[in-house]
């Protein structure tokens, strides 16, 4: 039993270390650095995660577990906990974008001049378009937005995860599984938000993937310093767009 506890502890240490290394150096960081940060040997790392893709997938799944807690807390009426977790994810994303600007392979946003920078400035400009007002606490629309904010937050916080997962044929299968799990996670909040009238009735759970794909594109293509504002604006415009008339402004 003690051996099993040690194995679970080492796995958790490795996942925490991987998040820190991915955030600081990108998903292409040497896996030996992950083992060193976790305080375990290379053999222990590879017993738990035979390759980079397995480690990245586990990190992604761990973050989905955290979002599941947010959704479950919301379902229990613990809106303060859900909102705090979502705010923490967004704050961590902003910090991660600043810290990870020099990340390695798969490390996310690149510093590129020219048209990309101009497009970023246009996307994130303050043009008088107000953010949608907050939905009343306790509504399922607010809970759905908390979950979506957390999901987009960790996409921004740990860029490159999906790029690594989809790099092989096996990874594409895993990516489909990850996408399905994400949609399953959001299905209940979406259904209930539509029933209460805060989200448009014609929005499907597959529609929610478009925002996540937009965030991936922004993180992978824009200068790191521009990513937080661009992601925030994309999320704001998107969430306003799926609300029912009368709740969008």
3-state secondary structure 215-245: HHHHHHHCCHHHHHHHHHHHHHHHHHHHECC
In the chain, how many domains are there?
A: 1
Q: Which domain holds residue 117?
A: 51-242
For the whole prediction, is pTM greater than 0.95? no
Q: Give the mean pLDDT of 184-207.
A: 91
Q: Is residue 44 part of a domain?
A: no
Among candidate residues 104, 101, 99, 26, the one with its CA nearest the CA of residue 59: 26
Q: Which residues pair with 199 in a beta bridge?
A: 243
pLDDT at 247: 72
- Between residues 148 and 94, the one the model is more confident about: 148
Q: Is residue 41 part of a domain?
A: no
Residues 6+ apart with CB under 8 A from 220: 108, 109, 110, 159, 160, 163
pLDDT at 204: 93
pLDDT at 75: 61
């Amino acid at each position: 039993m003690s051996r099993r506890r040690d194995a679970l502890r080492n796995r958790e240490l490795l996942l925490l270390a991987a998040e820190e290394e991915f955030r600081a150096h990108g998903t292409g960081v040497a896996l030996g650095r992950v083992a060193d940060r976790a305080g375990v040997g290379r053999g222990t790392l590879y017993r738990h995660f035979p390759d980079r893709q397995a480690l990245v997938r586990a990190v992604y799944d761990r973050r989905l577990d955290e979002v599941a807690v947010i959704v479950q807390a919301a379902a229990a009426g613990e809106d303060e906990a859900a909102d705090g977790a979502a705010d923490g994810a967004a704050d961590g994303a902003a910090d991660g974008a600043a810290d990870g600007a020099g990340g390695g392979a798969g490390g996310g946003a690149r510093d590129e001049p020219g048209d990309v920078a101009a497009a970023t400035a246009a996307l994130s400009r303050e043009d008088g378009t107000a953010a949608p007002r907050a939905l009343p606490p306790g509504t399922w629309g607010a809970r759905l937005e908390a979950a979506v904010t957390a999901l987009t937050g960790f996409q921004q916080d740990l860029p490159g995860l999906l790029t690594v997962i989809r790099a092989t044929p096996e990874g594409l299968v895993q990516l489909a599984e990850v996408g399905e799990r994400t949609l399953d996670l959001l299905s209940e909040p979406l259904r209930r938000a539509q029933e209460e009238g805060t989200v448009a009735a014609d929005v499907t759970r597959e529609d929610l993937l478009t925002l996540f794909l937009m965030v991936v594109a922004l993180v992978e293509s824009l200068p790191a310093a521009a990513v937080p504002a661009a992601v925030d604006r994309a999320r704001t415009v998107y969430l306003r767009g799926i609300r029912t008339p009368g709740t969008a402004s």
